[in-house]
Amino acid sequence: MAKGEVKLLGSWPSPYVMRARIALNLKSVEYEFLEEKLGVKSELLLKSNPVHKKIPVLLHHSKPICESLVIVQYIDEVWSSGPAILPSDPYDRAVARFWASYVDEKFFPALRALPMAQGKEAMEAAMHPVKEGLALLEDAYANHSKGGPFFGGGQISYLDVAFGCFLGVIRVSEKVTGVALINEHTTPGLAGWAEEFCAHPAVEDVMPDTDKLTEFINRIIKMKSQSPN
Partner 1 sequence: MAEEGVKLYGFWLSPFSRRVELALKIKGVEYEYIEEDLQNKSPELLQYNPIHKKVPVLIHNGKVIVESQVILEYIDETWKENPIMPQDPYERAIARFWAKFIDEKFFPSFRKAILGGETEVEKVIEETKENLKILEKVLEGKNFFGGERIGFVDIVANTIAYWVFLFQEAAEKEILTEEFPILCNWKDKYINHNIIKETLPPKDKSVSFFRARFAQSKASS
Of 65 and 167, CB closest to partner 1: 65
Binding residues for partner 1 (CB under 8 A):
51, 60, 63, 65-67, 70-71, 73-74, 77-78, 90-91, 93-94, 97-98, 101-102, 106, 136
CB of 98 to partner 1, least distance (A): 5
- Nearest approach, Cβ of 113 to partner 1 (angstroms)? 19
Judged by CB, which is closer to partner 1: 71, or 202? 71
CB of 123 to partner 1, least distance (A): 25
**Residue closer to partner 1 (CB basis): 96 or 194:** 96
Given the complex with partner 1, which of 187 and 214 has the nearer CB atom? 187
Our CB check for partner 1 shows the closer of 71 and 181 to be: 71
Q: Shortest Cβ distance from residue 96 to partner 1 (Å)?
A: 9
Q: How far is the CB of 34 from partner 1 (least distance, A)?
A: 19
For residue 149, cis peptide bond before it (omega within 30 degrees of 0): yes
